[in-house]
Amino acid sequence: MSKWYEFELGKAADILTRELFKLKEGETFVITADTESDMRVVEATARAAFSLGAKPMVIWTPAALGVGAAADPMLPQEALVGALKGADAWVEFNNQWIFYSETYTRAMKENDRLRYSCLVGMNADMMVRCIGRLDYPTLGEFMAKITDLTNMMKMAHICYGFNPGAKLTGDIVEDERVWGCVEWGIGHMRSAPAPSHSDGICLNASVWLDGEQVLDRGRSVHPELAELAKRLGKQ
Ligand SMILES: [Fe+2]
């Protein structure tokens, strides 16, 4: 039996607009959706934003045949970017999402005050379970605590090593370049400060990209890479 949650959805939309977006009177709030979106969610959110004194604007487009960059050719990119450039906040309910498309990148770059939330594919049931019935202040405390406990454990970067002359010496500057290794950096990065930063190296890595193996135990097996490696005196 489908769940409609007419009453509960109102509370979830109120939490989303008031507590999470912190919408203020007079702010422009863009809600994007496509023809696969749950319009109950869209309408409840627009109502809640309006009742806070914000100016909701719903942009409803056909569902693209792909997501992210694959959606770009099917999106009215100039019109979307134009609207988002003038908005204070944007919630995305598209099922075929705009997130990480050229349209998204341009909107975020050209409007650095834009507050965005990626709630792609949101439906009434999910919105009630994941937003409407939560104690957000307590969840915020929980997330702050667990973030604090794990800083140092964040992955900062993953890199390849492909210097034909490098050998394992114990000096990280050379070790991270040993041919056919991958290097995992954990801890501090500019966007997420931590007390320290440490790198670990896996020699003789096997790597698959989009299902195709390009490295096998440190040896290039991709045809073009194998040819280039040969010219560098490596495999
Ligand atoms: Fe590092």
CA–centroid distance, 197 to ligand 1, in Å, is 6
Residue 27 banded pLDDT, cuts 50, 70, 90: very high
Please state, in angstroms and rounded to a whole number, the distance separating the CA atoms of residues 189 and 207: 25
pLDDT at position 195 is 83
Q: How far is the CA of 192 from the centre of ligand 1 (A)?
A: 13
Cα 169 to chain centroid, rounded: 38
**Interior/surface letters 192-218, b for 16+ CB within 10 angstroms, e for the rest:** eeeeeeeeebeeebebeeeeeebbbeb
Tell which wins on pLDDT, 201 or 151. Answer: 201
What separation in Å is there between the alpha carbon of 83 and the centre of ligand 1?
40
- Sheet with strand 181-189: strands edge to edge: 155-161, 181-189, 192-202
Calculate how far, in angstroms, residue 228's C-alpha sits from the geometric centre of ligand 1: 27
The pLDDT tens digits of the residues spanning 7-17 come to 999 999 999 99
Task: Look at residue 2 and tell me whether its pLDDT is greater than 70.
Answer: no
CA distance 86 to 27: 10
Delimit the domains of the chain by residue range. 6-143, 151-231
* Residue 213 backbone zone (phi > 0: left; psi -120 to 50: alpha; other: beta): beta
Task: State in Å: Cα 210 to ligand 1 middle.
Answer: 25
pLDDT of 1 higher than 60:
no
Residue 233's pLDDT band (cuts 50, 70, 90): very high
* pLDDT single digits (tens) 164-192: 999 999 988 899 999 999 999 998 988 88
Distance 86 CA to ligand 1 centre (A): 39
Q: How far is the CA of 186 from the centre of ligand 1 (A)?
A: 7
Show Cβ contacts of residue 117 under 8 Å, excluding neighbours closer than 6 positions: 16, 20, 21, 89, 90, 91, 92
Q: Could you tell me what percent of the chain has a pLDDT over 70?
A: 99
- pLDDT tens by residue, 129-142: 999 999 999 999 99
Cα 141 to middle of ligand 1, angstroms = 30
Per the CB < 8 A criterion, the answer to whether 57 and 30 are in contact is yes
51 Cα distance to chain centroid: 29
pLDDT at 152: 80
pLDDT of residue 40: 96
Mean predicted confidence (pLDDT) in 97-118: 96
At which residue do the structure tokens 């909107």 appear?
107
Spell out where the chain has E strands.
28-34, 55-61, 89-92, 115-118, 155-161, 181-189, 192-202, 207-209, 212-216, 219-220
pLDDT score, position 190: 85
CA of 207 to the centre of ligand 1 (A): 20
Helix (H, G, I), strand (E, B) or coil at 166: coil
For domain 6-143, the CATH class is alpha beta
For residue 206, report the distance from its CA to the centre of ligand 1, in Å: 20
Q: CB of 172 within 8 A of CB of 186?
A: no
